[in-house]
Amino acid sequence: VFGDDYPTPDGTCIRDYIHVADLAEAHLLALEATAPGDARTDPSDDRGMLACNLGNGGGFSVREVLEAAERVSGQAVPHEVGPRRAGDPPVLVASAARAAEVLGWQPAHPTLDEMVGSAWEWRRRHPDGYASA
């Protein structure tokens, strides 16, 4: 954990994590929206280009992620707290308003327990990673 003295509720950085399936879904929707003739994008825009931020819009602290991992796995998560990294801002949270407006996208897995639980279940079924997938 890089720093526990940030001006956040628990002292750790806050980041806007999203589930990998939500990220993939947004990319598929963006590909569809930038196809020729799709009404969701303006024809005067550069065809094939669409920029949208993706996120939950609220963010979770590093400590909250660790706590979710412990809750979901039923195991302690070994970790060390070190100094801040140079340049790390206390909070980075995205506004996915444009993705919602243009693509109709919303995260389907908005909670940490869902995100971590999905990753934990995959790891439990594939202890050797992709070698056992």
Short-list 11, 21, 6, CA closest to 122: 21
Q: Is residue 24 part of a domain?
A: yes
Range of the domain at 122: 14-132
Q: How far is CA 48 from the centre of its chain?
A: 24
**pTM here?**
0.84
Cβ(120)–Cβ(69) under 8 Å?
Answer: yes
Q: Is residue 1 part of a domain?
A: no
Q: Is residue 21 part of a domain?
A: yes
What pLDDT is stored for residue 130 in this prediction?
A: 87
What pLDDT is stored for residue 28 in this prediction?
A: 96
For the chain, the domain total comes to 1
pLDDT digits (tens, 9 = 90+) for 22-61: 999 999 999 998 887 777 776 666 566 788 999 998 999 9
